[in-house]
Structure 1
Amino acid sequence: MYTAHFAAGLAIKSRAPAAPAWALITAAFLPDFFWIAFALAGIEPTSPPQAFFDDWSHSALMILVWSSLFAAIFWKRGWEVMLPIWAAGLSHLLLDFLIHPARLALYPHSTIHLGWNLWTFGQRKFWLGANIYWWIELSFIVPFTLVYIYGARKLGFATNLIAASCVALAALHLMALL
């Protein structure tokens, strides 16, 4: 749900103008950044013979830890910045709970896994050539974008900034069709 993570960061930005947009979007993607680093380091293998494993980057506990540590970097800027950044990090857990290649572990190497695991279901083709996953993600992008537009307009963000953000979201999501 890459575009949905981006959209969640923007939606939070429209409610927390003091928080830097780059920090909110980074926080929303933080588990994926760790996953890439851990995969490259061999800590979280992505294919056989070890099979898929992402407990260090994507378990519920570690997302909470990564989000808290990243938000703590902004402690000098106050709670009005830290809390939205922390919430953006936790939004990753909420979105991945629905669709993720594997159910999310409660903590690294836990036997308890959470989530709906709609990934396999979502891979089937659906309307207009897109798979079901694409449409499910769109069902999150649209409301997040509307929250962003409403909040950003209310806060007086420049119209061209709002439009550019929406075009970027649409382009990112359309690229998933390729």
Structure 2
Amino acid sequence: MIKLAKNEGKKFEEDFKRSVPEWCWCNRYKDGTANFKGDKNENVRFQAHNICDFEVFAKDKLFLLELKSYQGVSIPLSGIRKNQLEGMIKASRYKNVIPYFLLNFRGIQRVYAIKIQTLYEFIGTTTRKSIPLKWCIENGIEIPSEQKRTRFRYNLEILFSEQIEESEVKESKGWKYKELKLGV
């Protein structure tokens, strides 16, 4: 049997899941193509369109997290699906639901958590075709990581603990959004 090399994005997802603190509940949504028999990628009938990769329940907050991993110093907007953006924006209206995109810049080994509202506003106002690293540094939360041999361990306590404290102070103010025409 031939063993295929793992996609770097899948490695990021695995490392993320292993990094979730024990006091949090984590669920990975299934993705990919399927048919009526349930076989993968054969006689494709429909494609799953989840709004995110993971949901993490931390204390009384539900984090919706979409993970993106790229080699360069920018993340192409073409990698963000319209249904993800709209679904996470709609979910953010609910009390205690906190959606983020986690952007992994593999080339420099940095990960940034970007609130969905911040990303939505950026996409709605930019003429760029990608999200630059500099913008992530200015607008996101850096997730510290430690490389263990070839894989990474992320300090997700920073994201979950700080955001729980912040949302307890603010208590969801019913953030509103306008429909965006996305060329994504």
- Indicate whether the TM-score tops 0.5: no
Which structure features the higher share of helix residues?
1
Instruction: Give the TM-score, by structure 1 length.
Output: 0.28
Taking structure 2 as the reference length, the TM-score comes to 0.28
